[in-house]
Amino acid sequence: MARMKFLCDADRCIDCNACVTACKNENEVPWGLNRRRVVTINDGTPGERSVSMACMHCTDSPCAAVCPVSCIFSSDDGVVLHSKDLCIGCGYCFYACPFGAPQYPRIGDFGSRGKMDKCTFCAGGGGPEETGSIEEYRKYGANRLAEGKLPLCAEMCSTKSLLAGDGEIIAQIYKERVLKRGYGSGAWGWVTAYHEGISV
């Protein structure tokens, strides 16, 4: 069975934030929450890279390991889902996740967190709601996976840097890209762009 995964090719990401906007619009994510964000590493220096980050749907997810009420679980496709009915808003998953995926709406002034929200790989939710129902959409967002579609964030990526789908296929696509373009210094950059040192 396929295990669904995300992969962001940092050599292709142009920090356009189309993935962030697509996610917010498709799932009607409330103001103040971001299921997906673009992080820039080495901003303004040579070697700057942008990476689209969300829940990476880990095989052995640390958020599920620390949840005291077991509201986080993996589906048959390897998508890490959560039940908002069971969530108590303790925040343990937020501290355990290395990607900062779990988000909490600010409900009140004195630290009350509310129910956790995170990327669902556009696979709906983990509650008792019927697949594709209005109730499921209100709690968890779109269930594109049930319709045979990939997450909208990956589909809207103009440079195809954000890949989503079966982990083995994603790995093969990335491997082919690296073999085609090369890797390391000189694969992209001044020498490649301007053919420096090549007599024409």
**What is the tens place of the pLDDT at every residue in 35-74?**
999 999 988 888 889 999 999 999 999 999 999 999 999 9
DSSP string, 79-143: -EEE-TTT-----HHHHH-TT---B----SSSS---S-B---TTB--SSSSPTT-HHHHHHH--B
The one-character DSSP state at 188 is B
pLDDT band at 14 (very low <50, low <70, confident <90, very high): very high
| Separation between Cα atoms, residue 32 and residue 162, nearest integer Å | 23
Please give the structure tokens belonging to residue 102. 């779990």
Q: 3-state DSSP call for residue 146? A: helix
Question: What's the predicted TM-score (pTM) here?
Answer: 0.82
